[in-house]
Amino acid sequence: DTEVTQTPKHLVMGMTNKKSLKCEQHMGHRAMYWYKQKAKKPPELMFVYSYEKLSINESVPSRFSPECPNSSLLNLHLHALQPEDSALYLCASSQGTASQETQYFGPGTRLLVL
Amino acid sequence: GENVEQHPSTLSVQEGDSAVIKCTYSDSASNYFPWYKQELGKRPQLIIDIRSNVGEKKDQRIAVTLNKTAKHFSLHITETQPEDSAVYFCAASYGDNYGQNFVFGPGTRLSVLP
């Protein structure tokens, strides 16, 4: 299996809702990433998990809470989001965190906050 | 931190012509330079990458060149086809024990006219 999967594909939520995005890979990769991509913009790194531990948090607001239950799964818990948080949320994984590792992206979850 | 610039922002070519996209980066610690193609509504797909110990790499109609001294790298697509139409992102990356820091360029929208 050489694919990163993400669920759901689309999500609409209100500002008071709590929801979670899920990401899964079965390539044995030990690094997983969350990116946010606004329309017509490049992906922006949010979080990096290395060997199931949060290693990089790019100053993301606390209404986004990542979780890595095991080496194959990565969640992003959402609470009290704002309309400006509407975006495509991409998960990626790589073999490790050393230099020159290729990252493979999932299909993304398109989030709309009303 | 790393800053990646990318030019041009839009590029239109006739089918069969060549396309060249150029990127510059600021952090000399970056040592991995992937290129991603993203079609509308799809995930970024890796099309080619180059590591800092290599000056040029080719894969069929796609080639990438790297000049570490000048801190720039370029994507070359020959014999363009309509299915090459997409947004192309370059990225510069360095990694350590904490994670791999990918910084993307702003993207180039390539249109191949039949």
Question: For B61-104, what is each residue's pLDDT tens digit?
Answer: 999 999 999 999 999 999 999 999 999 999 998 766 656 678 99
Of the candidates B45, B99, B106, the beta carbon closest to that of A42 is on B106
pLDDT-derived band at B52, boundaries 50, 70, 90: confident
Q: How confident is the model at residue A100 (pLDDT cuts 50, 70, 90)?
A: confident
Tell me the shortest Cα–Cα distance from B62 to chain A, in angstroms. 18
Give the tokens for residue A67: 């979780």
Tokens of B32: 């991995």
Cis peptide before A8 (omega within 30 of 0): yes
| Residue of chain A nearest B109, judged by CA positions | A40
Out of B95, B106, B107, name the one closest to residue A97 (CB).
Answer: B95
Confidence bin at A57 (pLDDT 50/70/90): confident
Residue A39 forms contact with B (CB below 8 Å): no
CA angle at residue B31 from B51 to B21, to 5 degrees? 70
What does each C-alpha distance from B20 to B25, B32, B73, B102 come to in angstroms? 17, 19, 11, 22
Q: Give the B window 54-93 contacts with A, CB below 8 Å.
A: 89, 93
Tokens of B51: 């590591």
Residues of chain A positioned with their CB less than 8 A from the CB of B31: 99-100
Tell me whether A66 touches chain B (CB under 8 Å): no
Pair B8, B107: CB distance under 8 Å: no
pLDDT reported for residue A41:
95
In percent, the amount of chain A with pLDDT more than 90 equals: 74
Partners of A13 in the beta sheet? Answer: A113
In chain B, what percentage of residues exceed pLDDT 70? 95
Residue B75: Cβ within 10 Å count:
25
Give the max Cα distance, chain B.
47
Contact B100 A101 (CB under 8 A): yes
Distance CA B96, CA A73 (A): 22
Cβ contacts (< 8 Å) between B34 and chain A: which residues?
102-103
Q: Is the pLDDT of residue A24 over 60?
A: yes
Report CB contact under 8 Å: A98, B94.
no
Residue A99: predicted pLDDT: 62
What integer pLDDT is reported at residue B97 of this predicted model?
Answer: 60
Beta-carbon-side half-sphere exposure of residue A90 (alpha carbons within 13 Å): 23
Q: CA-CA distance, B95 to B32, in Å (whole number)?
A: 9
β-sheet bridge partners, residue B14:
B113
Residues of B in contact with A46 (CB under 8 A): none
pLDDT band at A55 (very low <50, low <70, confident <90, very high): confident
Residue A97 pLDDT more than 90?
Answer: no
Residue A62, pLDDT score: 93
- Is the CB of residue A45 less than 8 Å from the CB of residue A32? no
Q: How confident is the model at residue B2 (pLDDT cuts 50, 70, 90)?
A: confident
